[in-house]
Copies of this chain bind each other. A is one copy, B any other.
Amino acid sequence: MSRVREQANLAAVDALLAADPVLVGIESAQQAMGLPSSTVLTSGPTMPFDAYTGGQRAAIIGGALYEGLAADEAAAVAAFERGEITVRGCQEFGCVGSLAGVTTASMPVVVVVDESTGNRGYCTLYEGDSADRLNYGTYTAATRDNLEALRLRVAPALNSLIAAQTEPLRLKPIMTRALTMGDELHSRNAAATLLFLRRLLVGAKQLGAELDDALDSLCDDYFFLRLSMAASKVMANAMRGFEGSSVVTAMSFSCAEFGVQTSGTGDAWFTGPLPTFEDFRIEHGYDADDIEFMGGESIITEVVGLGGVAQAAGLPLQRSSGRSVVRMVARTTAMYDITVTESPEFRIPILNYRGAPLGLDVEKIVQPTGVTPFLDIGIAGRSGRQIGGGVARAPLEPFRKAWEALS
């Protein structure tokens, strides 16, 4: 590895470590990031509308209907085809999409600011464990009602509690601690959600009727995932723009392709085929043929040393993405071969508190190892709902392309 690259990588990782993600509030995507009302965001590098298929296409169309951009599916498709409605990749707006990741102007998004650099990250709120979720390609009356409840009740209630805080809502201390409590902050956020709930209550002290409205949402074990994602995004952003650095700054996939960005190559996406599953668990009554990729950007957590990269921290995931303790430890251990350093903050109890593998390095992925990152991801079914979870492997091709561009 060249001396220059090594220095750049270390500088990038230092910048990530200096990031201090703080939840400042919840705003509409329009307010928060200037998203035009005629634009629908979705997971993955931007593609032409007709390249999106299956559940991701259904979710994009559902987003347009929810936003009131068309009266029905046919009209929405026509409007997309005429260019009256446009589809874009979430990350062009600093947003990260969960699974299909459909984000429209009126939807509430968490706003996380890195106090060190001022950079901002966004993510929609968790839709709950209903079968009718836009992120899993289903748009029904129940989907719409749920999205409306998030916009009209949950977001304002959470904002009241956030506004009542006397100290900044720092997320990294919560993430650091949750990692010692069975979370890896991607597929498992149970402890982080509880820690955040408590932090919100303790920081606010004035608890009124808002709490009742916020409580259902706050008490879902997946609540924190969206905060984990937005915090990861701002931390990953801190690594951007280090000339010559081969550190990965973003990963993302749509229904059709997987994309990677690196510090040394700016906003260019290097793409390749979709990830492949290593271990997964799907609900009774479904099998592997029911799995459908609908996009996903929650793998931003893997970019900062969490999720599949730190899977050994999430022992309760044995029954889904883990399968066994030995496999989980082996996966995390393998990630040290393709990363720049170890996190001095995010630590893993079963590895005797060794720091999580940090700073995915394209050079190490491509040249000596051919080992690509593990990804802890939710599994969507063709029927349009979450049917399971698992651990997938990123494809090698995007990293190879990125390496060619860097060399």
Contact = CB atoms under 8 A, between A and B. Distances in A.
A318 interface: yes
Q: A interface, by DSSP: helix, strand, loop or mixed? A: helix
A207 interface: yes
Contacts of A319: 353
Number of copies: 2
Interface stretch (A9-17, A211-219, A262-270, A283-291): A211-219
Interface in A284-337: 315-316, 318-319, 324-325
Interface stretch (A29-37, A67-75, A190-198): A190-198
Contacts of A207: 207, 211-212
Given A182-B180, A182-B181, A191-B191, A349 B315 contact: yes
A184 to B, nearest CB: 12
A350 B219 contact: no
Interface of A: 180-182, 190-191, 194-195, 197-198, 201-202, 205, 207, 211-212, 215, 219, 315-316, 318-319, 324-325, 349-353
Nearest 8 A-B pairs (CB), nearest first? A194-B194, A315-B349, A181-B182, A181-B181, A180-B316, A181-B191, A198-B219, A207-B211
B181 A316 contact: yes
Question: Taking each of A181, A205, A215, A352, which has the highest tally of chain B beta carbons within 10 Å of its own beta carbon?
Answer: A181
Contacts of A211: 201, 207
